[in-house]
């Protein structure tokens, strides 16, 4: 059979474009886009609009997709490996918990309270007792600890949610485990969020790491920092392992795009640790993760 088809052949109707494939007519169509009452034909000047997965998730267009930007900071990176997080010396979740616990949050300043001038409420982000992504909002009570309403296996961010006239947290905020007394997150005074290059993949999802960056903010002398992207998989590989390394110099940041991306299974913890060339180096590091069931 021939291509194209005449409608109402008996009275000479319009001819529509079709492609004959093994005796079956397939209609040929032009693509258009636009809102109600608008039809823009696609050509080299008007390309079909597209949106990537991460942007779609950020706009809430895909409820099954979680995108996370883990940005860490430390002002005391030295010759011993430690996590990029504002809690300072030490490492985040060296032995990831298998039992969830209540998280207690307190400030070093009495103005961080429910009716104070500083932080009034804070939000905790992490994995709950089932390993699912969860958040919990806590009403501050100054230097007195306030416990979360749910238990967490891991926390990978704490941020100020509402404030008084001071517009930020007056003191340093610490999130600690009620049973373990371990530090889960720490926010410097006036910063409004914990700065930690850490994350954990929610249960029932798979994560991919697409982008990783490291930089030296300030050091007394020129020097560099070695950063190590590490993963801990509690179910199959119960130890931290290095999956990538980079080095950033003072004034010369390091940036890596993984293509293909690094695939990370559910429940795995991710962190970045640094080893500095000098003592008390101020450095940043962070990575971007996409998670989907």
Largest CA distance in the chain: 90
What pLDDT shows up at residue 32?
A: 83
In the chain, what are the domain boundaries? 5-41, 54-91+198-292, 102-187
Q: Which residues of the chain have pLDDT under 50?
A: none
Distance, CA of 119 to CA of 236 (rounded, Å): 40
The neighbour count for residue 77, using CB atoms within 10 Å, is: 31
Q: How many CB atoms lie within 10 A of CB 48?
A: 9
| pLDDT at residue 219 in the model | 63
CA-to-CA distance for 116 and 185, rounded, in angstroms? 22
Tokens describing residue 133: 């992504």
pLDDT in tens, 228-279: 999 999 888 889 999 999 999 988 899 999 999 999 999 999 999 999 988 8
**Would you state the pLDDT for residue 57?**
63
pLDDT of residue 31: 83
The pLDDT assigned to 30 comes to 81
Burial class (CB in 10 A: 0-12, 13-18, 19+), 283: buried
Q: Does the domain made of 54-91+198-292 have the CATH classification 1.10.3470? A: no
Least Cα distance to 41 among 49, 32, 50, 51 occurs for: 32
User: What pLDDT, on a 0 to 100 scale, did the predictor assign at position 62?
Assistant: 66
- Tokens representing residue 152 in the block: 């967490």
Tell me what pLDDT residue 137 has.
98
Q: What is the torsion angle, in degrees rounded to the nearest 10, for the CA atoms of residue 197, residue 203, residue 204 and residue 206?
A: 20
Backbone φ and ψ of 130, nearest 5°: -95, 0
The pLDDT value given to residue 33: 79
The rounded distance, in Å, linking the Cα atoms of 8 and 272 is 69
């Amino acid at each position: 059979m021939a291509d194209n088809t005449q409608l109402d052949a008996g009275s000479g109707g319009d001819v529509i474009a079709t492609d004959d494939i093994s005796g079956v007519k397939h209609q040929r169509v032009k693509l258009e886009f636009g809102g109600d009452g608008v039809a823009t034909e696609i050509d080299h000047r008007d390309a079909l609009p597209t949106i990537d997965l991460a942007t779609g998730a950020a706009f809430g267009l895909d409820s099954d997709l979680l995108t996370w930007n883990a940005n860490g900071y430390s002002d005391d990176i030295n010759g011993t490996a430690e996590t990029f997080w504002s809690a300072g010396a030490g490492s985040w979740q060296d032995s990831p918990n298998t039992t969830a616990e209540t998280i207690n949050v307190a400030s070093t300043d009495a103005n961080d309270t429910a009716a104070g001038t500083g932080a009034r409420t804070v939000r905790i982000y992490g994995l709950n007792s089932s390993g699912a992504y969860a958040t919990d909002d806590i009403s501050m009570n100054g230097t007195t600890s306030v416990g979360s309403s749910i238990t967490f296996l891991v926390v990978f961010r704490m941020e100020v949610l509402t404030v008084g006239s001071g517009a930020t947290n007056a003191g340093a905020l610490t999130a600690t485990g009620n049973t373990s007394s371990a530090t889960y997150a720490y926010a410097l005074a006036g910063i409004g969020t914990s700065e930690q290059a850490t994350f954990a993949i929610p249960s029932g999802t798979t994560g991919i790491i697409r982008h990783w960056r490291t930089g030296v903010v300030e050091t007394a002398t020129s020097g560099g920092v070695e950063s190590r992207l590490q993963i801990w998989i509690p179910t199959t590989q119960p130890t931290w392992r290095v999956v990538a390394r980079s080095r950033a110099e003072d004034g010369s940041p390091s940036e890596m795009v993984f293509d293909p991306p690094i695939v990370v299974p559910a429940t795995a913890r991710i962190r970045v640790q640094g080893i500095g060339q000098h003592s008390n180096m101020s450095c940043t590091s962070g990575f971007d993760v996409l998670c989907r069931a």
